[in-house]
Amino acid sequence: MPQTKFILQENDIPTHWYNIVADMPNPPAPVLGPDGKPIGPEALAPIFPMSLIMQEVSGERWIPIPEPVREAYRLYRPSPLFRAHRLEAALGTPAKIYYKYEGISPAGSHKVNTSIPQAYYNKEAGIKRIATETGAGQWGSSMALAGHMFGLEVRVYMVKVSYEQKPFRRSMMHTWGAEVFASPSMETQSGRAALAADPNNPGSLGLAISEAVEDAAHRADTNYALGSVLNHVLLHQTVIGLEAKKQFELAGDYPDMIFAPCGGGSNFGGAAFPFFADKACGRDVRLVAVEPSSCPTLTRGKYAYDFGDTAKLTPMLKMFTLGHDFMPPGIHAGGLRYHGASALVSQLYHEKLIEAVAVPQIATFQAGVTFARAEGIIPAPESNHAIAACIDEALRCKASGEPKTLFFNLSGHGHFDMAAYDKYFSGQLEDFAYPEDALQESLANLPKVEA
């Protein structure tokens, strides 16, 4: 019988995270403050613990995972690597397809891989409370769970439209003991100002970030936590790729191409970066970030300094960006609607060391349904992007007869997104390619900095 699941034991959970900075040909571009000058670690100290700030700027290849974090990872890690025999048969491809399934975490996505260490380091630093934001709710629920594990209070500012439309993710956060406010809220100055201007403001991720950062900056017992984009978040996510490398050894195989959905870049970095270590030593492996055509940060954005949020409260990062006032359309992959991309992913893409493709929404659901019917698991709409790009490659292999080994990261399950699947089945989904003039308009508002 050909093997379907490649399973590791709990003592195979990595002991160190992999820091790609050690293998990048050029050092990361500096982070800039409001005056356009590089900032030092102390500038971030009001909202992050020093341990995470040091990870943010570290050049060490291996960073030890604290034992209490590995212990918490044991609740759901190692995650399985599957060989998609049934999908291969359904496609009639000679390609071998593998996927790593991160939907086995209690919150249903890879985000718990970083919420756990973030909660741990904040607790160690004497912090009592975390303020954070969430869009569709995947990050908020992951932070709620991890906060409770380490005895931290968690306050989540949830974008108001999602708060109203996705009540079950809110219920998950409550179950794990977090406080959840619809953003804009009356709890912060930014929220009150937004409500004074428009009592019906539906909220946005940018505004929710402003509320959470303001909350954290104003209370000594409170820090802020971010679920993607930052270097330390991608670092924590490398448990995915490190486990996958061991699992490929068990399978006696190695990927030619790796695909992952890319919003802020954390699950892509997590799955792909550990393989970059081999690429840096001359091994031939292609790393492909897959994004929505409606929020095409890498494929149509500009590589420039920009703010992380709409209100310009964050430092400036050099990244591919669509502009901090870019308004992504209401597509169903909520986790992929961010205007920027991780600085590390951006720099690697700029230096042509990784690749990116954009996929339209309807094609991603087609791919997700093909996958679900073959393999059983119903993927998150975000994950469907990687599946679509992987299936496209598998079909190219079918045409050419090439038996490539393909690997994608199944970043989460879609159990809270069935309304989006219903829309797909009833023909109500639309493809939306962002108009060039609207894009140019938001890019015109990029901050003017030299570099």
Ligand X SMILES: *Cc1c(COP(=O)(O)O)cnc(C)c1O
Taking CB under 6 A as the criterion, the residue among 331, 336, 357, 391 binding ligand X is: 336
Name, in order, each residue with C-beta under 8 angstroms of 412's C-beta and a sequence gap of 6 or more.
102, 103, 108, 109, 110, 111, 138, 379, 380, 382, 383
Which DSSP string do the residues of 71-94 spell out, in sequence order?
A: HHHTTTPSPPEEE-HHHHHHHT-S
In whole angstroms, the minimum distance from the beta carbon of 192 to ligand X comes to 28
Nearer to ligand X, 375 or 382 (CB): 382
Q: 31: number of CA atoms within 13 Å, CB side?
A: 19
Write out the binding residues for ligand X, residues 162-201 only, by CB under 6 A: none
How far apart, in whole angstroms, are the C-alpha atoms of residue 221 and residue 223? 7
Taking CB under 6 A as the criterion, the residue among 239, 356, 380, 389 binding ligand X is: 380
266 makes contact with ligand X (CB under 6 A)? yes
Nearer to ligand X, 140 or 360 (CB): 140
Write out the binding residues for ligand X, residues 202-231 only, by CB under 6 A: 228
How far apart, in whole angstroms, are the C-alpha atoms of residue 419 and residue 397? 33
267 makes contact with ligand X (CB under 6 A)? yes
335 makes contact with ligand X (CB under 6 A)? yes
DSSP assignment letter at 20: G
DSSP assignment letter at 395: H
Task: Please identify, among the stretches 9-17, 60-68, 380-388, 395-403, the one whose residues bind ligand X according to the rule CB under 6 A.
Answer: 380-388
Name, in order, each residue with C-beta under 8 angstroms of 165's C-beta and a sequence gap of 6 or more.
none
Q: Are 404 and 397 spatial neighbours (Cβ–Cβ below 8 Å)? A: yes
- The H or E element containing residue 18 is strand 16-18
Which DSSP string do the residues of 256-323 spell out, in sequence order?
A: SEEEEE-SSSHHHHHHHHHHHHHHHTT---EEEEEEETTS-HHHHSEEEEEESSTT--SPEEEEEES-
411 makes contact with ligand X (CB under 6 A)? yes
Taking CB under 6 A as the criterion, the residue among 215, 382, 393, 417 binding ligand X is: 382
Task: Please identify, among the stretches 49-57, 122-130, 160-168, 258-266, the one whose residues bind ligand X according to the rule CB under 6 A.
Answer: 258-266
265 makes contact with ligand X (CB under 6 A)? yes
- The H or E element containing residue 443 is helix 436-443
65 makes contact with ligand X (CB under 6 A)? no
Taking CB under 6 A as the criterion, the residue among 264, 340, 360, 368 binding ligand X is: 264
Nearer to ligand X, 391 or 397 (CB): 391
133 makes contact with ligand X (CB under 6 A)? no
In whole angstroms, the minimum distance from the beta carbon of 305 to ligand X comes to 20
383 makes contact with ligand X (CB under 6 A)? yes
* Number of neighbouring beta carbons within 10 Å of residue 232: 24
Task: Please identify, among the stretches 34-42, 55-63, 186-194, 261-269, the one whose residues bind ligand X according to the rule CB under 6 A.
Answer: 261-269
294 makes contact with ligand X (CB under 6 A)? no
In whole angstroms, the minimum distance from the beta carbon of 197 to ligand X comes to 29
Taking CB under 6 A as the criterion, the residue among 28, 255, 296, 412 binding ligand X is: 412
Nearer to ligand X, 118 or 266 (CB): 266
In whole angstroms, the minimum distance from the beta carbon of 142 to ligand X comes to 8
- The H or E element containing residue 156 is strand 153-159
Enter the tokens of residue 192.
């009150």
In whole angstroms, the minimum distance from the beta carbon of 128 to ligand X comes to 26
244 makes contact with ligand X (CB under 6 A)? no
In whole angstroms, the minimum distance from the beta carbon of 92 to ligand X comes to 28
Q: How many chain residues touch ligand X (CB under 6 A)?
A: 19
Nearer to ligand X, 103 or 191 (CB): 103
Task: Please identify, among the stretches 186-194, 206-214, 310-318, 377-385, the one whose residues bind ligand X according to the rule CB under 6 A.
Answer: 377-385
Nearer to ligand X, 294 or 411 (CB): 411
Name, in order, each residue with C-beta under 8 angstroms of 169's C-beta and a sequence gap of 6 or more.
134, 136, 137, 138, 140, 141, 162, 416
Write out the binding residues for ligand X, residues 96-115 only, by CB under 6 A: 109, 111
Nearer to ligand X, 191 or 381 (CB): 381
Q: Are 178 and 201 spatial neighbours (Cβ–Cβ below 8 Å)? A: no
Strands 222-224 and 129-134, bridge-based pairing: parallel
Cα–Cα distances in angstroms (integers) from residue 36 to residues 157, 351, 447, in the given order: 29, 23, 9
Taking CB under 6 A as the criterion, the residue among 49, 206, 255, 263 binding ligand X is: 263
Nearer to ligand X, 308 or 412 (CB): 412
In whole angstroms, the minimum distance from the beta carbon of 216 to ligand X comes to 20
SS3 of 98-130? EEEEHHHCCCCECCHHHHHHHHHHHHHCCCCEE
138 makes contact with ligand X (CB under 6 A)? yes
Q: Are 102 and 109 spatial neighbours (Cβ–Cβ below 8 Å)? A: yes
- CA 163, 221, 34, 187 torsion: positive or negative? positive
Q: Which residues bind ligand X (CB under 6 A)?
A: 109, 111, 138, 228, 261-268, 335-336, 380, 382-383, 411-412
